[in-house]
Structures are given as structure tokens and as C-alpha cells.
Amino acid sequence: MEILELLKALFFGIVEGITEWLPVSSTGHMILLDEFIKLNVSAAFLELFLVVIQLGAIMAVVTIFWSKLFPFKKGQGLKIDRSIMMMWVKIVVSCIPAAIVGLKWSDEIDALFYNYFAVSIALIVFGIAFIIIENRHKDKTYRINSIAEIDFKTAFLIGIFQLVAAVFPGTSRSGATILGGLILSLNRTVAAEFTFFMAVPVMFGASLLKIIKFGLAFSQSELLILLVGLVTAYVVSVLVIRFLMSYIKKHDFKVFGWYRIVLGIIVLSYFSIF
């Protein structure tokens, strides 16, 4: 049975690594996946597991973008890259709206919106939004073409889009912030990179809160399940992030919009019938 549970954790890690970075909603996929592949663990541990395996996805961002994230450079002594430090200040500003709402009302939000109907509607609505925005922005010249060009006002407004994702599961955090970036005239590459960087403090914070709430009293099997999910999510995320950064140089996000709509209809139909 333990081997079977580890295989399930492996599959959850694969789905997390794929869906965390593509704008298709990892929450929507996890709800659907949990319906068919149920881990034989307590409800409290499952809640922890689904959040903490995101750390594996985050470590992929840190690995791939280390030179753009780490502000301390070796030279004649230790030097600080001021542009990277300024970027982190902007990231903190962008995370303020979701952090305030999440810390104060996270349990209420989960109780209201963490269900198949709300997730399905969010999948469909934001899928339609992606298609509309991409059609309107076809061949557009973007105002912001590097992260350094993002000002504090723009960073905060991107954070408002992230807040929408925090309130409505199924929206997709990466989907909401990328869509917000496009609306605010960031080019696709910059919007995607800034989204990835924003996720670092958000997911570290969310994971830390879940661990504090659950405690460190893991059984051996729970620890193994968590490690398998983390490592799998990391490896898959590295591949997916590299694919996405290459993909968006030549393509728009409409395919993900259509995918969201189809998935939302499938989830809504399945749970309505069964």
C-alpha cells in the first residue's frame, strides 16, 4: 500500500509541476485529480500536501532564474545588485493585497469558493478573458519590455490581479497575473517572469503557514509522500518553465484559454452528473 501511495504522490507532483506555471489553474486540476486518485492520508495532511508540494515548483524558479533573483554578487568583495534589490521591493509591493486578504480571510475564502462549481466558473470565465485580451492585443507594441521598467503602481496593480486568484480558486495565480500584465502593457515574457518571481514569497509564505498549522509531527510514510511530491514537482516544473518561456516568444496564450474553457465544462459536467 505504501508503494501505491508513493505512486499517487508522484502523479500529484507531475500535475502540480505542469499546472502551477501554465495559466490553467493547478487548483482545478487538483480538485479533479483528487476525485479519481485519493491519497490514503488524513484530511489535514492532504491539505498540507497540496500546498507544500508547491515548494518543489518554487525551487524550480529559483534554480532557473537564480542570476536574476539573487542580489549579492561576488567580485572585489560582496556587491549588491541594486536593480535586483529594487525588483524585490516591487515584488513585495505586488504581494501586499493577496497577503492581507489571505492572512485575514483564507479559511472563509476556502469555505465559500473551494468547490467544483466555483472553480469551474473561474476556469471558464478566465479562459474567455484570455481569448478576448489576446485578440485585442494582437500585434500590439507593449510599453514595458523588462522587469526594470515596471514601476510601483504597475507592480501593485498586478498584485490586485493576484488577489483575484487568491479569492477565487480556479482562476490560476499565474493566469491572473499574466493576464493582468498583458492588460497593463507588459510583454508576454516580462509578464511571465514577473509572475514566476512573485510566486516565490507567496508560496514560501503559504507553505510555512500550513506547516506551522499542521506541525512537524510527520509519520514516516507522510514524510516520504511529501518528499516524492516535492521532488517530482521540482523536476517537472523545470521542464515546464523552460517550455513556456520558449513557447511564448512565438505564440500567444489563447490555446490555454480554450483549454480552460473545455476543462471547466468537463469539471462542471462531471460533478453535476455524479
Give me the residue spans of the domains in the chain: 2-273
Query: Helix crossing, 26-36 with 116-136: angle to 10°?
Result: 140
* pLDDT at 185 > cutoff 90: yes
Percent of the chain with pLDDT over 70: 99
C-alpha cell at 195: 509572475
CA separation, residue 146 to residues 116, 151, 153, 200, 250 (Å): 37, 11, 15, 19, 17
Exposure of 69 by Cβ count < 10 A (0-12 exposed, 13-18 middle, 19+ buried)? Answer: middle
Q: Tell me what the mean pLDDT of segment 33-61 comes to.
A: 88
Confidence (pLDDT) at 76: 63
Alpha-carbon gap, residue 1 to 206, rounded angstroms:
30
Look up cell 506541525; give the residue: 215
pTM (predicted TM-score): 0.88
Examine the pLDDT at 181 and tell me if it is beyond 90.
yes
Residue 221 CA to residue 6 CA, distance in Å, equals: 9
pLDDT digits (tens, 9 = 90+) for 217-267: 888 888 999 999 999 999 999 999 999 999 988 888 899 999 999 989 988
d(CA 43, CA 214): 11
pLDDT computed for residue 63 by the predictor: 95
CA dist 222 and 115 (Å) reads 25
Q: What integer is the mean pLDDT of 34-61?
A: 88
Please report, to the nearest 10 degrees, the dihedral formed by the alpha carbons of residues 119, 121, 125, 130 taken in order. 30
